[in-house]
Amino acid sequence: MPRVRIAPEIYAASFVSGFAVMGIEILASRLIAPAVGTSVLVWTNLIGVVLLSLAAGAWVGGIVADKRPDRRILGGLLFTGGVLASFLTFAYDLATWLIGWLPEGAAVPVLALLLLTPAALILGAVSPVAVRLALHELGDAGHIAGRLSAIGTVGSLAGTYLTGYVFIAIWPTHWILAVITIILYATGLWILRPAFPKQVAAGCLAAGALFAGQTADGPPGTFIPSAYSSMRIGTSTYLGTPVKILWMDRVAHGGTTLADPSRSFFPYYDLFQDFTDLLTPNAKTFLAIGGGTFHGARAWIDSAPGRTATVIERDPAAITASKTYFDLKDDPRLTILEGDGRAALTPRTERYDVVMLDAYADHLTVPWHLVTVEAWANLRAHVTDDALVAMNFILHEDLERDANARLMSGIIGAAKTQFRYAKLARIDDKDDAEDLTNTLLLLSNVREPSDDEIRAILDRNDVLREPAVYPIVTHAHPPFTDRYAPVEYLSTQLVH
């Protein structure tokens, strides 16, 4: 068998196309996160659309390659992929427009198709064109196809890990996209260099498109580099009061007035203190899963002498943002642990008097692995016998909705395998009525607060709206387990 020699341009095309596709997919999730979140449903659509587009591109590319095995086709594909990818920076504007008139369940797949199909389809055609150009004789077909497939896969790995581990940590998202598009432009023009004079005008036009794309506006505010979410600090006015908010994707994870960044603007933490005084008045140790701006833990340790708090926060960027923008200071009474709530808690031996579970995967969804039978058993092993456990999650006002009842049943049914008493208190802001409502699940093995006690606490904290207490539903869905917990699927159905 003669020695297979493949031109370096063909190797480069295979590597760069794989690199660009994976980088674009990861960046798309970051760009649309402020509008639609980063739930498993979002990722399902992004991955599915990319795979579909690559398959379609490979099919069409194979037909084109047989009809016209020309290196200019290869260069043109990479160049065009760069042009299309540069406009991905308008993803946020497109996402906010789509969710304004489409249900979220339909908006996400449509958004993925519009954003990713053009560039992924074009780049998917690179592989068959590269193989066709590299073929010297039929006997080398398997060798050549395997080698170029391997090179493309290595490029995909490089795009995945460099984007996820390196670029996102050091550059803004639009800069990363600019680098990827420039690499595509440069590789395409390099392959097209025999006909380069004809491409100068197109190159200038594409460079202008790239510049325009990188100036697209995202959500307002100061962006914080984060490996987990689209994190930003935003300011606005609420009921005449200037406020500063920590946003992670679409969720406000904490906020203060501009005049006093050390104190939370939201009433939930004072509310939680009142429930603690009612049900566990002698509590000394506090655990929060989900830190946000850490105002809950700070309010806890400041509310009575001798109290200590532990907070598990998965995102170190939230810690940095809280220290920079929300006056979080080192305190020997406050222990901050970096890590996922369940995994970070498991090896610890401490037992806590009070637990606040306030973690969200997106604007609706509590991470599924924190609300299963196994997760509640893990938490029960780390609390005292008379502990109060509270979890903040989202319900719909219409409790008869199927998804609403099933979500409630799955979570509460799992929790009641470990806690005897459960109560659902509605904690909506009475000045901002919505169909979706923040709901506080109170769990205890000591006693159940009465409806009147809950109503009095809500009234005292200015969040009372009827019904103040929701009925407990456990018959609509079996308790969530690590094997079956369709939390994201049910939460998404609550929006419309």
Maximum Cα interatomic distance, the chain, rounded to a whole number of Å: 87
Q: Looking at the predicted structure, is the pLDDT value of residue 215 above 70?
A: no
DSSP alpha helices (H): ranges in 192-235? 196-214
CB-based burial label for 220 (10 Å; 0-12, 13-18, 19+): exposed
CB-based burial label for 127 (10 Å; 0-12, 13-18, 19+): buried
CATH code matching the domain that covers 266-492, chosen among 3.40.50.150, 3.40.50.970, 2.40.128.110, 3.40.50.1100:
3.40.50.150
Region 76-83: mean pLDDT is: 90
Q: Looking at the predicted structure, is the pLDDT value of residue 196 above 80?
A: no
Q: Looking at the predicted structure, is the pLDDT value of residue 429 above 80?
A: no
Q: What is the pLDDT of residue 3?
A: 55
Residue 270 main-chain phi, psi, to 5 deg: -65, -40
In tens, the pLDDT along 115-154 reads: 999 999 999 999 999 988 887 544 566 777 778 888 888 9
Q: How confident is the model at residue 213 (pLDDT cuts 50, 70, 90)?
A: low
Q: What is the pLDDT of residue 137?
A: 46
Domain residue spans of the chain: 8-214, 266-492
In tens, the pLDDT along 360-410 reads: 877 778 888 999 999 999 999 999 999 999 998 888 888 888 989 999 999
Q: What is the pLDDT of residue 418?
A: 97
Q: Looking at the predicted structure, is the pLDDT value of residue 173 above 80?
A: no
Q: What is the pLDDT of residue 107?
A: 85
- Peptide bond before residue 467 is cis, with ω within 30 degrees of 0: yes
What are the CA-CA distances from residue 93 to residues 88, 104, 413, 447 (Å)?
Answer: 10, 15, 40, 49
Q: What is the pLDDT of residue 70?
A: 85
More confident residue, 103 or 333: 333
Q: What is the pLDDT of residue 421?
A: 96
CATH topology match: 8-214 vs 266-492: no
Measured distance CA(16)–CA(184) in Å, rounded: 7
Q: Within a 10 A sphere around the Cβ of 252, how many other Cβ atoms? A: 17
Q: What is the pLDDT of residue 217?
A: 59
Helix, strand and coil percent figures for the chain, each rounded to 5: 55, 15, 30
In tens, the pLDDT along 19-65 reads: 999 999 988 888 887 777 777 788 888 999 999 999 999 999 989 98
In tens, the pLDDT along 271-295 reads: 888 999 999 999 999 999 998 899 9
Measured distance CA(52)–CA(44) in Å, rounded: 12
- Which tokens sit at 38? 């980063």
Whole-number average pLDDT of the chain: 85
Is 8-214 assigned to CATH 3.30.160? no
Measured distance CA(486)–CA(341) in Å, rounded: 19
For β-strands 352-357 and 285-289, DSSP reports them as: parallel
- Under 8 Å CB-to-CB from 405, ≥6 apart: which residues? 399, 473, 476, 477
CB 102 within 8 A of CB 495: no
Name the least confident of 10-14, 205-209, 388-392.
205-209
Residue 462 main-chain phi, psi, to 5 deg: 65, 35
Helix (H) or strand (E) holding 436: strand 436-444
The pTM of this model reads: 0.81
Q: Is the dihedral of CA 413, 415, 418, 423 positive or negative?
A: negative
